[in-house]
Structures are given as structure tokens and as C-alpha cells.
Chain A
Amino acid sequence: MVSNKAFGEFFKKKRLELRLTLREFCKRNNFDPGNISKIERGLLPPPHSDEKRRQYAKALKIKEGTDDWLTFFDLAAVCSGSLPSDIAEDEEVIKALPLLFRSIRKKNDMEEDDDLRNFIQSVRKELR
């Protein structure tokens, strides 16, 4: 099965071809940057509605009837069937976690442990 990644990667490739940052692309089209970033990283499946898919294709300046149009809709159809599990696997979470950061540092060991676990939980949540 093709993962959401294939659609997301194609989406991102087309956006970068337009030389639009995530911010500018979302601003021009009134999209939520968090959602678009998640779609591009394969964390959200392509939208189910044809209307929304067409809206994205239009925003990406993909012309109807072109090879890119077919690829976009083929990938959207295939990838929308691959729903990620509700909870991100540990390996996936670890890849998203920072290696170097300084804020979660407490004098108290237990407090530090709790804060770190809460932080990991927040990161896990953002992967879905």
C-alpha cells in the first residue's frame, strides 16, 4: 500500500516548484499551515472530498488534464485509504523529538522527568 507520504511528497514538490514558502502558500489560499505541513509530511491523509482536493490542486497551479493532475488525484485516491494508526509508534516519536534543547532542565529530578514525559506526549499528539 502507498503511504500518505507519497501524496505529501508530491504536494510539497509542487508547492516548492511555485517557490512559495509554507507561510505564503497558506496565506494566499487561506489554508492552515499546521494542516498543510502535516499533509506534506504524510501525517495527515489527503482530504476525502473531491472539492477539497480540487481546491488544493488549484492552489498548487496543477492544470486539469495534465499528467500532474492525474498523479495528484491518483495519489490522493490511493493514499486516502492508508489511515495512520491513532497513536504514533515510539520510533516515529523519537524521530520527531529534539536531540538538543535546553529548557526542560530542573533542579528536581522528578519534576524534570514529568516535564520531559509531558513534552514527549505533546510531540506524540502532534504526529496525528
Chain B
Amino acid sequence: MNLDVPRLTYQQIKQKAQNFLNTYHPSLELPVPIEEIIEFEIGLNIYPFPNLYRTHRQNGFLSSDLTTIMVDEDQYKYYIPKYRFTLAHELGHLVLHRKIYQRYTFSKIHEYIEWYKSISNWDVDMLEWQCDTFAGLILVPEETLISECKKTIGKYKKEIKKLISSNIEVWEIWSYLPNKIASVYDVNPPVVEIRIRNSRIDSKVDLIKLLEGCP
């Protein structure tokens, strides 16, 4: 079945994420209070679903009636950065794919199963990528990323300089920095690494210049 997937570009998703933040979190105070936004502003329910990942390899999902985000209970309790990303990802489905949710409704379980099996992996993966991208942009806002990178480089000047003098390349430093930045955003480091790459922060922040004057 053709899902009629919206072919959103990175720039289009970025625009939607910025519009979302302008509406629901214009202060851009970090970390972005995603749980509060979802419960207080959007009005969704959150349900910690026991063994959702252990049994079904699902981090979470948005219910098809668009009322509830079900999230793996272990993640809810113990893995907060991962949980926050799951919430933002599912929120992405609501913001980006509402029309799909409204288009497909079922009254029998077998209709649901047949429909699910008829849609292509390619389409589903495309929609999931869109939500991952949206989640990263919401949790690691573009406007804050450059300054956080500069702050971190400033804080670890000596250590970075040592790495460079031991033949570590600049791109490797950019790959390592997220480990020092992620806690500011309360996300896992790979989320920041992908955001740095997608926003091409390495071309906007002159790392070598920032190290000048450091012994």
C-alpha cells in the first residue's frame, strides 16, 4: 500500500521544529522540558508500558487516536535521556504525520494487521527518520548549539590542544565533544553528534582559532 508519505527535507523539518519551539518553548532554556510540553501544552497522556522494549523491542509509540504516548517503563524510570528522545520522536509523529493518522482508521484487528503488513519498510523508515530528525532539532535547538560548543571548547582548551598535538584530527574532536555537551541537553551523546554534523557546526565554529592563546 502507498502511504503517501510526506517527503520532507531536512530544512522543512527544521522549520517545523523551530515553529514548534517558538510556540511552546520560546525561551529555549535548557534542557528543553519535553515532558512538561507534552503534558501541559499538548495535552497528551504518558503511559509507562511494562516490558515494552524487552518483549517487543519498542521504545515507545503514539496511540493511533493521538491521545497517549506509551513508553517503555524501564526507560521511563531509569534512562531519562533516552526517554526524552522517545517522547520527542513520538511528538514528531503528531506534528509531522497527523494527516496519516487521520486518514487510516480501522474497526477490526485483522484490518489493522493487513494494513500494517501492506505498507513498505521504505515508507515506514522514511517517516521514522523524519521523527528522529525532528526530535534532535527539538531537544538540541539550533540557536543554542553554537554557543554550547564554544563554551565547551573554551572549558576544555588544554585537553583539546593535547589531543591535537597527539595527531588526533579536528573532525575527531568534533565527534568527541558531544560527550561533554550532551548533559546540558539531557540527551545521549549521539544525538548531539548528529545535530553537530547536520547543522555543520564544524564549519561555523573555528575550533583552532578558539584554541589560540592556550599554552
Contact = CB atoms under 8 A, between A and B. Distances in A.
B73 interface: yes
Interface centre among B64, B67, B127 (most CB of A within 10 A): B64
B47 A94 contact: no
Given A22-B39, A41-B68, A90 B46 contact: no
A101 B131 CA distance: 11
A102 to B, nearest CB: 5
A33 B45 CA distance: 11
B170 interface: no
Given A37-B47, A91-B107, A105-B121, A96 B113 contact: no
B108 interface: yes
A9 to B, nearest CB: 11
A65 interface: no
A49 interface: no
Interface stretch (B14-22, B97-105, B142-150, B195-203): B97-105
B61 A94 contact: no
Nearest to B47: A37
Nearest to A32: B48
Query: Chain A interface residue count: which class?
Result: 35 or more
Contacts of B112: 94, 97, 120
B61 A98 contact: yes
B128 A102 contact: yes
Given A21-B36, A100-B97, A100-B127, A126 B50 contact: yes
Contacts of B40: 16, 19, 21
A96 B63 contact: yes
B80 to A, nearest CB: 9
A105 B46 CA distance: 25
Contacts of B100: 99-100
A113 B116 CA distance: 10
A95 B117 contact: no
A50 interface: no
A103 B47 contact: no
Interface in A83-128: 90-91, 93-105, 109, 112-113, 115-120, 122-123, 126
A99 to B, nearest CB: 5
B13 interface: no
A111 B40 CA distance: 40
A115 B47 contact: no
B56 A16 contact: no
Contacts of A91: 107
B109 A104 contact: no
B2 interface: no
Nearest to A26: B48
B65 A95 contact: yes
Given A16-B40, A33-B46, 7 more contacts: A21-B39, A41-B47, A100-B101, A100-B128, A101-B58, A103-B56, A109-B117
6 contacts: A94-B112, A95-B67, A97-B61, A99-B104, A120-B113, A122-B52
